[in-house]
Chain A
Amino acid sequence: MTVRTRAWRSAVAAALEDAVPGSVDLGALVYVERLLDALEHDPPHIWAAPGVWSGGFGDPGADAPQWLELGPWERQAWSQRVGEWRLAYDRVAAGLPEADDLRLVHEHACEATYGDPAYGGNAGGGGWVRIGFPEPLHPPARGDAT
């Protein structure tokens, strides 16, 4: 797991909060760090697998993975993407963001606030509660991330 400094984390948290107020309380920094570290897991934590309801993944009795496998080319694309995002967040943390970096921070803050809690944001579904969005009927597995 990549270790990040307190200064890095507080600068990135401030940028996330700036983009979407309230996002950090809902887990946006956790979301971003998990995304930047996604390829340090096997399978990578890119696509959460369906929950127990599916009878497939997420079934605790089936010793099933909680994340879907990536193919080798998908791994390559995600390595490249995450590598670029790490550099972008380093620029944000250093106080030298480019315009595209701020766009990225905004998109990730939105994902973290209103995406599924399986990815580390939207803690307890609080992002959905605050906008009146109903709990999904068939959510991904959340055990690993929440």
Chain B
Amino acid sequence: MSTTDCDVVIVGSGPGGSTAAEVLCGAGWSVVLLEKGRNHLVSTTPPHEPLRHFANDEIAAHRRHLLGPDPLLEPRTYRRSVEDGDHLLVGEVNNLPSTVGGGGVHADAKLPRFREEDFRLRSERGPVEGADVRDWPLTYDELEPHYAVVEQLFGVAGETGTNPFAAPRSSPYPLPPGDDMPMALVTSAAAERAGLHPYRAPTGINSVPADGRPACTDCGFCGGYGCPVQAKNDPIAALQRALRTGNCDLRAESYVTGIVLDGTGRRATGVRYLDLRGHPEPPSREVRARVAVVLAAGAFETPRLLIAEGLGGDLVGRYLTYHHQTFTVGIFPSDRYPQGTGGERGRSVTHLHDDLVVDSPELRGAAAAAGLPWVRGGVVEHGAGHLPVEEAITYGRGDHHLSSMVDSALRRRMWAFTMQGEDLPQASNRVDLDPRIRDVWGRPAGRVTYAPHRHELVASAHAAPLHEAVMLDAGAEVAFSATSPPRGDVELHAAANPLGAAPASRHVMGTTRMGSDPSTSVVSPSQRLWDVENVLVCDSSVFVTSAGYNPTLTLAALAHRAAVELCGADPTAGDAAAGAQSDRSDSRASASAVAERNRS
């Protein structure tokens, strides 16, 4: 076993871990950033150029696990409730990429902020039976400065003032919005006619050349793909800046399997990991961290690690939330749209509307009719995914194949609204360890137990007819809706539904809840484990409620806040790394002082 030293060891290089690394390295702290996946993103040798491994290639990205995790090596399991036995499915369950950059590499990077109410849901809306709705231990106003900085760091392209429901902001978006997808303009106009308020999605993608990387070419292979021209900012920008300080030691293929504690059991001194470059017996190594261990392995893997280590208490893994997704699909006629809906080009989604997140008489009516105190939907994405291989597989085998592909109801003529519906936290929804399935390295696989609350179903049932009417008004000849997780016969969905029986959402949250009371939370308001206070969690596990918004900007803002608090950096510094380069010795000295304080 070999050991090395650093100030902080970070587990996971996704948006959360990369943001924390940038702040800490920029403040002069030494960081070892451990990532279990391969590196396809950025060179670890100066000047840390992109590796350029990505192409417009559906086979590599969607069929051959280029970005991992390979389910043969790292299976996960799923069941709806204990009645399903140990598990219902084994294989891929909400897999986010396991690779340097994590899910940020795959995401099409819609980066909305949450609203004030999202942090005070219990106070503003009240309890819901069967769910554990709580306020966050921080307010929007407290997080706002971090949102503002992270938007700068991620180069968010957006438009201020067009979303009437947006929370107040201290600064405009750093980049102008990117090109609109033409069909999004059509569905936005129809949404406006229905009294909705669509706006251009804030997106962490270069709309113009910025930060030494080019503008997006609207190549169309966006959500689910690495960007071939590195126009996606998150998280390559943060990683490059962290690496360029010289303080970041990024180690791919490093699978953290344990947290090392001192004799008191209350303080972490580092982590153990398997060096996966070794095969078939990967050597076990240890990294010793002088100040802290930061867990940013994502809301599935962070609780899996903590449970395996017996850390964090009984609530670890509980209150798992996704977004309850309601897809409203419109099929547009060829005679009116001979070129199809145009989704082969563009960034997958370019417009959103928030109307179903905010309180309205219609939502109140839906809640009352269902006997619920209130109902909230989620942000609605206007977009399309156009994957011919996936489409072909969906149609099944046989003589109809070519005519179905040419008619192309599910690709060329399709446009969709996806509502990322708020999912209420329930103690029974959780990540834990499967008793029978192990990964290839012998460690128990993570298992999801999840079923939606009635609230999600009511919100979905309210949204579906509304959006179907908008689709029809936009010119669709047919409109229908489906949800994930699906309702109905699980066998049928497992075999035939392209989204499968488990929730397809890649927005995973809530498994190491943040709170002010150790009896009802896993981490403190500073995102530190109550039982081992120098272990910080910097991913969406800490979310108290799921809100109805894409989670990444909020988890990155929280990671920024936690890292700034840890190292005492200037919370408003837009480019921490640049500051560190200009005066590394000063920042090192002040960082050491804060480190000393944190150590004691």
B277–A74 contact, CB under 8 A? no
How far does the alpha carbon of A119 sit from the alpha carbon of B63 in the complex, in Å? 12
Size range of the chain A interface in the assembly: 35 or more
- A50-B52, A80-B72, A140-B60 in contact; A110/B253 too (CB < 8 A)? no
- A19-B397, A137-B217 in contact; A116/B52 too (CB < 8 A)? no
Interface flags for A1-45 (1: CB within 8 Å of B; 0: not) read 000000000000000001111100000000000000000000000
- A54-B55, A134-B344, A140-B55 in contact; A20/B392 too (CB < 8 A)? yes
Interface flags for A64-94 (1: CB within 8 Å of B; 0: not) read 0000100111111100110000000000000
Residues of A within 8 A of B58 (CB): 114-116
How far does the alpha carbon of A23 sit from the alpha carbon of B63 in the complex, in Å? 18
B60–A47 contact, CB under 8 A? yes
Q: Which one of B57, B276, B396, B406 has the highest number of Cβ atoms from chain A below 10 Å of its Cβ?
A: B57
Interface residues of B, dominant DSSP? loop
A50–B397 contact, CB under 8 A? no
Interface flags for B388-405 (1: CB within 8 Å of A; 0: not) read 110111001111011001
- A73-B440, A74-B38, A74-B70 in contact; A131/B388 too (CB < 8 A)? yes
How far does the alpha carbon of A81 sit from the alpha carbon of B253 in the complex, in Å? 21
Interface flags for A111-123 (1: CB within 8 Å of B; 0: not) read 1011110110000
A113-145, CB < 8 A from B: 113-116, 118-119, 127-128, 130-134, 136-141
Judge if A60 is at the interface, Cβ distance under 8 Å.
Answer: no
B54–A50 contact, CB under 8 A? yes
How far does the alpha carbon of A136 sit from the alpha carbon of B406 in the complex, in Å? 18
A76–B388 contact, CB under 8 A? no
How far does the alpha carbon of A51 sit from the alpha carbon of B57 in the complex, in Å? 11
Residues of B within 8 A of A107 (CB): 63, 393
Name the residue of chain A whose CB is nearest to the CB of B218: A137
A132–B64 contact, CB under 8 A? no
- A76-B440, A80-B72, A138-B55 in contact; A48/B401 too (CB < 8 A)? no
A46–B57 contact, CB under 8 A? no
B402–A116 contact, CB under 8 A? no
Judge if B469 is at the interface, Cβ distance under 8 Å.
Answer: no
A57–B52 contact, CB under 8 A? yes
Judge if B454 is at the interface, Cβ distance under 8 Å.
Answer: no
B390-428, CB < 8 A from A: 391-393, 396-399, 401-402, 405-406, 408, 412
Residues of A within 8 A of B220 (CB): 136-137
A114–B389 contact, CB under 8 A? yes
Chain B nearest CB: distance from A97 CB in Å? 12
B279–A72 contact, CB under 8 A? yes
B243-268, CB < 8 A from A: 253
Residues of A within 8 A of B57 (CB): 47-48, 115-116, 118, 136, 139-140
Name the residue of chain B whose CB is nearest to the CB of A106: B397
How far does the alpha carbon of A83 sit from the alpha carbon of B58 in the complex, in Å? 23
Residues of B within 8 A of A74 (CB): 38, 65, 68, 70, 73
How far does the alpha carbon of A75 sit from the alpha carbon of B38 in the complex, in Å? 13
Indicate which residue in B253, B397, B405 contacts A18 across the interface (CB closer than 8 Å). Answer: B397
Residues of B within 8 A of A18 (CB): 397
A110–B389 contact, CB under 8 A? yes
Residues of B within 8 A of A77 (CB): 65, 70, 72-73, 440
How far does the alpha carbon of A136 sit from the alpha carbon of B155 in the complex, in Å? 26
Residues of A within 8 A of B59 (CB): 48, 111, 115-116, 119
How far does the alpha carbon of A122 sit from the alpha carbon of B340 in the complex, in Å? 22
B69-116, CB < 8 A from A: 70, 72-73
How far does the alpha carbon of A77 sit from the alpha carbon of B402 in the complex, in Å? 33
Judge if B364 is at the interface, Cβ distance under 8 Å.
Answer: no
A50–B412 contact, CB under 8 A? no
Indicate which residue in B65, B229, B398 contacts A138 across the interface (CB closer than 8 Å). Answer: B229
A22–B402 contact, CB under 8 A? yes
Number of interface residues of B (CB under 8 A): 52
Indicate which residue in A55, A119, A128 contacts B388 across the interface (CB closer than 8 Å). Answer: A128
Indicate which residue in B228, B277, B391 contacts A50 across the interface (CB closer than 8 Å). Answer: B228
Chain B nearest CB: distance from A24 CB in Å? 13
Residues of A within 8 A of B440 (CB): 73, 76-77
Name the residue of chain A whose CB is nearest to the CB of B440: A73
Residues of A within 8 A of B128 (CB): none
Name the residue of chain A whose CB is nearest to the CB of B50: A56
Indicate which residue in A72, A81, A137 contacts B277 across the interface (CB closer than 8 Å). Answer: A72
A113–B217 contact, CB under 8 A? no
Chain A nearest CB: distance from B467 CB in Å? 27
Residues of A within 8 A of B285 (CB): none
How far does the alpha carbon of A76 sit from the alpha carbon of B279 in the complex, in Å? 9
Judge if B193 is at the interface, Cβ distance under 8 Å.
Answer: no
Name the residue of chain B whose CB is nearest to the CB of A121: B59
Residues of B within 8 A of A48 (CB): 55, 57, 59-60
How far does the alpha carbon of A73 sit from the alpha carbon of B36 in the complex, in Å? 11
- A47-B60, A47-B64, A56-B52 in contact; A21/B219 too (CB < 8 A)? no
A138–B52 contact, CB under 8 A? no
Residues of B within 8 A of A68 (CB): 40, 53, 60, 66
Residues of A within 8 A of B393 (CB): 106-107, 110
Judge if B584 is at the interface, Cβ distance under 8 Å.
Answer: no
How far does the alpha carbon of A51 sit from the alpha carbon of B360 in the complex, in Å? 51
How far does the alpha carbon of A99 sit from the alpha carbon of B242 in the complex, in Å? 50
Residues of B within 8 A of A114 (CB): 58, 388-389, 391-392, 405
How far does the alpha carbon of A20 sit from the alpha carbon of B402 in the complex, in Å? 8
Residues of B within 8 A of A46 (CB): 60, 64
- A21-B402, A71-B277 in contact; A50/B55 too (CB < 8 A)? yes
Residues of A within 8 A of B277 (CB): 71-72
Chain B nearest CB: distance from A92 CB in Å? 13
B253–A71 contact, CB under 8 A? yes
Residues of B within 8 A of A75 (CB): 279
Residues of A within 8 A of B345 (CB): 134
Residues of A within 8 A of B221 (CB): 136, 138
List 5 extra interface pairs beyond A49-B53, A133-B412, A140-B55, CB under 8 A.
Answer: A47-B57, A54-B228, A73-B276, A110-B392, A137-B217
The 4 closest A-B pairs by CB, nearest first: A56-B52, A72-B279, A136-B56, A110-B392
Instruction: List, sorted by A's number, 21 A–B pairs whose CB atoms are closer than 8 Å.
Output: A54-B52, A56-B51, A68-B53, A73-B276, A75-B279, A76-B73, A76-B279, A81-B72, A107-B63, A114-B388, A114-B392, A115-B63, A115-B389, A116-B57, A118-B57, A119-B59, A130-B406, A132-B408, A136-B221, A137-B219, A138-B229
